[in-house]
């Protein structure tokens, strides 16, 4: 009888000790990889002219497979941000009928650390402050609120759409 009781206690202890070992673990696998900014979704009924122009520029460049923001999330919880936004040149095309926007050849690169819990992404910005944004990932598409992400001139909101390579 004592032997049966000891086996029951040991079996219960093993089951209970294995049930929730991941309470502090963060599953970052959903965000790992390289993500290119491919679109800006805005509410065209409430958007500003800056937001509409920014969307047009981004659409034009993305159609050429030119991505002005690339995020690379690594397993070691480091993130690399490559941003070519400061090097965009806007010209009139040779026919004078539209814009010509060459793909920037220069970019600024920042390396930081991040945490991701399946919904919230936190990282350290260039001012050494923690920024937390809500992230939605469906397959190879990630959306981030542009205002939370700190994109200038997006006063009424908008969603940054990234596509995983």
pLDDT tens digit string along 28-40? 889 999 999 999 9
Report pLDDT digits (tens) over 43-68: 888 888 888 988 999 999 999 999 99
> In this model, does residue 25 exceed pLDDT 70?
no
Judged by DSSP in three states, 3 sits in: helix
Query: Per the domain annotation, does 6 fall within a domain?
Result: no
What are the CA-CA distances from residue 154 to residues 58, 82, 120, 124, 163 (Å)? 14, 20, 21, 21, 20
Query: Per the domain annotation, does 14 fall within a domain?
Result: no
Residue identified by tokens 């937001």 is 51
Report pLDDT digits (tens) over 90-122: 988 888 888 889 999 999 999 999 999 999 999
Query: Per the domain annotation, does 8 fall within a domain?
Result: no
Query: Per the domain annotation, does 67 fall within a domain?
Result: yes
**What's the whole-number mean pLDDT along residues 142-160?**
80
Query: Per the domain annotation, does 31 fall within a domain?
Result: yes
**What's the whole-number mean pLDDT along residues 119-137?**
93
Domains identified in the chain, total number: 1
DSSP string of 28-78, one letter each residue = -TTT-EEEEEEEEE--TTT--HHHHHHHHHHHHHHHTT--SEEEEE-TTSE
Q: Could you tell me the pLDDT band of residue 131, with boundaries at 50, 70 and 90?
A: very high
The pLDDT of residue 22 is 41
Query: Per the domain annotation, does 108 fall within a domain?
Result: yes
Report pLDDT digits (tens) over 63-90: 999 999 999 999 999 999 999 999 999 9
Quote the domain boundaries for residue 51.
27-164
CATH at residue 57: 2.40.128.280
The answer to whether 79 and 73 have CB atoms below 8 angstroms apart is yes
Query: Per the domain annotation, does 40 fall within a domain?
Result: yes
Query: Per the domain annotation, does 17 fall within a domain?
Result: no
The pLDDT of residue 24 is 42
Hey, how many other C-beta atoms are within 10 angstroms of the C-beta on 20? 7
pTM: 0.78
The kind and range of the H/E element at 5 are: helix 2-17
């Amino acid at each position: 009888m004592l032997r049966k009781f000891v086996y029951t206690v040991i079996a219960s202890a093993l089951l209970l000790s294995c049930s929730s070992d991941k309470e502090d673990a963060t599953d970052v696998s959903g965000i790992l990889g390289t993500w290119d900014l491919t679109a800006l979704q805005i509410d065209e009924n409430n958007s500003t002219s800056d937001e509409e122009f920014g969307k047009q520029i981004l659409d034009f460049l993305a159609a050429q497979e030119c991505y002005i923001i690339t995020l690379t999330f690594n397993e070691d919880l480091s993130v690399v941000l490559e941003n070519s936004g400061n090097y965009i040149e806007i010209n009139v095309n040779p026919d004078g009928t539209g814009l010509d926007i060459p793909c920037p050849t220069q970019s600024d690169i920042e390396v930081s650390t991040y945490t991701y819990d399946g919904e919230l992404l936190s990282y350290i910005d260039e001012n050494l402050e923690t920024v937390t944004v809500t992230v939605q990932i469906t397959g190879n598409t990630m959306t981030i609120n542009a205002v939370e992400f700190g994109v200038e001139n997006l006063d009424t909101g908008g969603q940054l759409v990234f596509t995983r390579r």
